[in-house]
Chains A and B, each alone.
Chain A
Amino acid sequence: MSALSRFIDHFRGSGDYSVSVPPFDGALRPNERLETALAIVHAPEPDNLVTLADGVVFSSADSLFRIDFGSPAGSHTPAVPLHRLPSTVTALASRDETLAIGLEKGGVVILGGHHDGMIISALDGIAINCPTALAFQDADALLIANGSASHPPSRWKSDLLDGGASGTVSRIDLATRRSTRLAANLAFPLGLLPLGDGGLLVSESWRHRLVRIDVSGQISRVLENLPAYPGRLAPCREGGAWLALFAPRRRLVEFVLREPAYRQRMMREIPSEYWVAPTLRPMMSFLEPLQGGMLKQLARLKPWAPSRSYGLVVRLDANFLPVESLHSRADGCRHGVRSVLEVSAGLLAASVGADAVVLVPPPREH
């Protein structure tokens, strides 16, 4: 019966085969807050904003930088180089003086603290080939999200188009090196947020949702049907969390995701930057006619154009329901925000599309 209804759905374009995406409305109503925010640091493809004892750290390619907020007001905020790693940094977590660093080539490196120099390359004998998110649960317990069993972090588009759902979340005791798998078959877990009750909030990018893993290992859906692909999570001072959504869901991409033959041929024959897939930065290339489509009028891209890239950050309340959002729309460039961090001056957002870290003042000052 279900096979029959699937066939009918495929025929009619309904149910699982419905090529539709949720609207940006309610708390996700578009605005310009991200686009008009102050860019405080310029660096290529910034990501992974975390706090260390002496400031805020972020990654850019294979390097870590510290943002120096101590410079005089009005002057350019410098990014002070901290470390250089053997490959691109894909995930970062901090606790006191300790940094856990996920690498593009695989594995996690610990810098500073009691476990300085420790390298974790496998969990239960399975290699960490795609470290996408890290979080400290306590000084010795590190949570590791491995986004995909078959693709490294930089090939996230391939994982999406292959229908990837091989992500895992594990906990490792750094003192004993014993690991526990908390969840498997996740569709690209890209954000981890330990909760006060011992539970864990995980963003599953390709399923456009947040799930909660409680102490007993029970997985429950927290927020579903998001109109964009969720990325990293960060705690919010008012309770709840900040969620970065790195690219929008579009009907064209949803359509391609339901057409395996087309998708496979596209992946085989076309360079990945021109795939019908989400991107982190606006390309504006004449080779990409569908970026602006018909909504380019008088040479200007309309803000509501169905672009493949977008900038979106959402604040979730204590029940993890969206309450406010910050946007950079199709006509902007602060796209591909994968990481956010709340600091005393406001909210920091690392935008790959703008190659900058921007500072959004709190709403009352906005």
Chain B
Amino acid sequence: MSTILELRGVTKQYRGVAAITNIDFALWTGEVHAIVGENGAGKSTLTKIMAGVTTPSGGEVLFDGKPVAFATPRDALHAGVAMVFQENSLVPSMTVAQNVFLGDEKFFNRMRGVYIAAQQLMGSLNFGVDPWATVATLGAAKKQMVEIARAVRQQARVIIFDEPTASLTPEEIQLFFALIDRLKRRGVSIIFISHAIEEALRIADRITVMRDGAVITCEESVKLDRESIIRAMVGRNLSTALYSKEAASARRVGPQILSVQDLSMGNIVRNNSFSIYGGQITGMFGLIGSGRTETAKIIAGVLKRRFFHGGEVLYEGRSVRYGIPRRAIQDGIVYVTEDRKLEGFFGAMSIAENLQVARLAANRPVLFVPMNAAKDLARQWIEQLQIRAINGDAHVTELSGGNQQKVVIARSLVQRPKLVIFDEPTRGVDVGDIAEIHALIRRLADEGLGILLISSYLPEVLNLSDRILVSQRGRIVEEFSAADADEESIMYAAVH
């Protein structure tokens, strides 16, 4: 098997701090190579060097056996290395065809020709995407297809996918895997970065595990299993601790904190009724589109219920209807969003500023905020939630996904809530941070807080929840106790 892309002794330092050290890596022609590792392990840095997004501090990169120095992504693309980022780089207001040919337009561009070429390209890849469609109207999977089509059009021989399945539904993931298979058959080499170990095991030919900026192991996927990968990733055996049944059972149920009665909003939430109790983790499982997030957002005042006969939300025995989240926060209801980058924090602010702003929402407005107080607050929460950051002045965008999520959670906890709604709390978070976030959720329930845990990952719901509600088509259709729930019956209730 010939090697198409090779890294020899590559090192990258940011402000004197090594992100990756002395990495040797080889990508074979026509293989699917998964790179897994905790957040901060150096996966992104490694692939950014391959794609010309950043330049190495030391070592050499070889493409087709020849040393190369990609100064920009365009250099890499011309050589045949394309990268599909987690946050797609498409222009939402443009059509699919315009996006595919973006940056490569001729001086006198004949739009008809562009559309025909785009249609031919989509057809050759067997993608059911309309070239005339505006990108903003497409789902996550189709946007991914457009990104891939763009890479293929540029004759990419190596395509790097960064967390491609994070925002896809199970059906879309199947489509994506079929696509990877087709690209592989065309001789394209693929690098696949993922937190989902099962996915890596399923589609990759080889798997490289990284930890602390170094390659720990690189093996054929058939020789690895979930446990050995996790052990290599975190340096200890986490899998049993992560999804063990320790949790719940012994927890004493508190009073009813929230009673949702016949809540309605359009066709998404329909007569939804359930209760949340203090000192208990109530898991909510459902397929994407089952109205879980919308229900949570109505409770937290982010969305509004139907104007007429929209149902009732009783919080601590009184009827509440929040027009804005601030009112809910002041009452003690916080919502930890599933989309942390869009709704969870202010990217341009430091951790301290983010926490301070969150605390302001829970209190009366003040004219001046002493920065020392903000820094003390950040220090306290960085320590409490073990957020891996240099200090409170670090920008949240500089942190890894798991640590960003901890900041989002800390932003909610500084508001001293009585009810915390976690919406996909471990999405895009690595295994080490997942264990810490799970421990935190359990600790909050032990302290008597009401917890609503919305998750699409069944093992997480099963092992964290004291009771499990199943949502389908905008309403709760089934309830299971922790003792009598199993994956099969929950999934059956969610689908039928």
Contact = CB atoms under 8 A, between A and B. Distances in A.
Interface of A: 12-16, 18-23, 25-27, 29, 221, 224-225, 251, 319, 321, 323
Contacts of B255: 319, 321
Contacts of A29: 479, 481
Interface residues of B, number: 26
24 contacts: A12-B308, A14-B309, A15-B312, A16-B319, A20-B262, A20-B311, A20-B312, A21-B262, A22-B259, A22-B261, A22-B273, A22-B275, A22-B314, A25-B275, A25-B469, A25-B476, A25-B479, A26-B479, A221-B317, A224-B317, A225-B317, A251-B262, A321-B254, A321-B255
A22 B263 CA distance: 11
B249 to A, nearest CB: 14
B481 A14 contact: no
A14 B312 CA distance: 7
Nearest to A321: B255
Contact of B273 (A12, A23, A321): A23
Contacts of B311: 18, 20
Nearest to A251: B262
B368 interface: no
Contacts of B262: 18-21, 251
A12 B259 CA distance: 20
Contacts of A19: 262, 309
Given A21-B261, A27-B253, A323-B253, A12 B307 contact: yes
Contacts of A23: 259, 261, 273-275, 476
Contacts of A323: 253
B319 A18 contact: yes
B312 A26 contact: no
A27 to B, nearest CB: 7
Between A14, A225, A321, the greatest number of chain B beta carbons within 10 A of the residue's beta carbon is seen for A14
A26 B321 contact: no
A29 B469 CA distance: 11
Contacts of B277: 26
Q: 3 closest A-B pairs (Cβ-Cβ)?
A: A20-B261, A23-B273, A13-B309
A33 B461 CA distance: 27
B467 A26 contact: yes
Contacts of B256: 26, 225, 321
Contact of A14 (B275, B314, B321): B321
Contacts of A224: 317
B310 interface: yes
Contacts of B309: 12-14, 18-19
A22 B312 CA distance: 9
B274 A25 contact: yes
Contacts of A21: 261-262, 273
B287 to A, nearest CB: 20
Interface string B63-93: 0000000000000000000000000000000
Interface of B: 253-256, 259, 261-262, 273-275, 277, 307-312, 314, 317, 319, 321, 467, 469, 476, 479, 481
A14 B298 CA distance: 15
A225 B478 CA distance: 21
A75 to B, nearest CB: 35
A224 B311 CA distance: 18
A23 B261 CA distance: 7
A9 B127 CA distance: 51
Contacts of A15: 312, 319, 321
Given A18-B261, A321-B254, 10 more contacts: A14-B321, A18-B309, A20-B262, A23-B259, A23-B275, A26-B479, A29-B479, A225-B314, A321-B255, A323-B253
A319 B311 CA distance: 29
A351 to B, nearest CB: 25
A321 B261 CA distance: 19
Contacts of B274: 23, 25
Contacts of B261: 18, 20-23
Contacts of A22: 259, 261, 273, 275, 314
Contacts of A251: 262
A251 B311 CA distance: 11
A319 B254 CA distance: 9
A26 B275 contact: yes
Contacts of B253: 26-27, 321, 323
B163 to A, nearest CB: 36
A314 to B, nearest CB: 13
Nearest to A29: B479
Contacts of A18: 261-262, 309, 311-312, 319
Interface centre among B309, B312, B467 (most CB of A within 10 A): B312
Contacts of A27: 253
B220 to A, nearest CB: 48
A18 B273 CA distance: 14
A151 to B, nearest CB: 29
A285 B481 CA distance: 36
Nearest to A319: B255
Nearest to A13: B309
A226 B262 CA distance: 15
A251 B261 CA distance: 10
A29 B277 CA distance: 14
B265 to A, nearest CB: 13
A321 B279 CA distance: 13
Q: Which of B254, B469, B476, B479 has the most CB of A within 10 A?
A: B479
A180 to B, nearest CB: 29
**Which one of A12, A18, A319 has the highest number of Cβ atoms from chain B below 10 Å of its Cβ?**
A18
A24 to B, nearest CB: 9
A227 B443 CA distance: 31
A221 to B, nearest CB: 8
B471 to A, nearest CB: 13
Nearest to A22: B259
Nearest to B264: A20
A310 to B, nearest CB: 16
A102 to B, nearest CB: 32
Nearest to B480: A29
A29 to B, nearest CB: 5
Contacts of A25: 273-275, 469, 476, 479
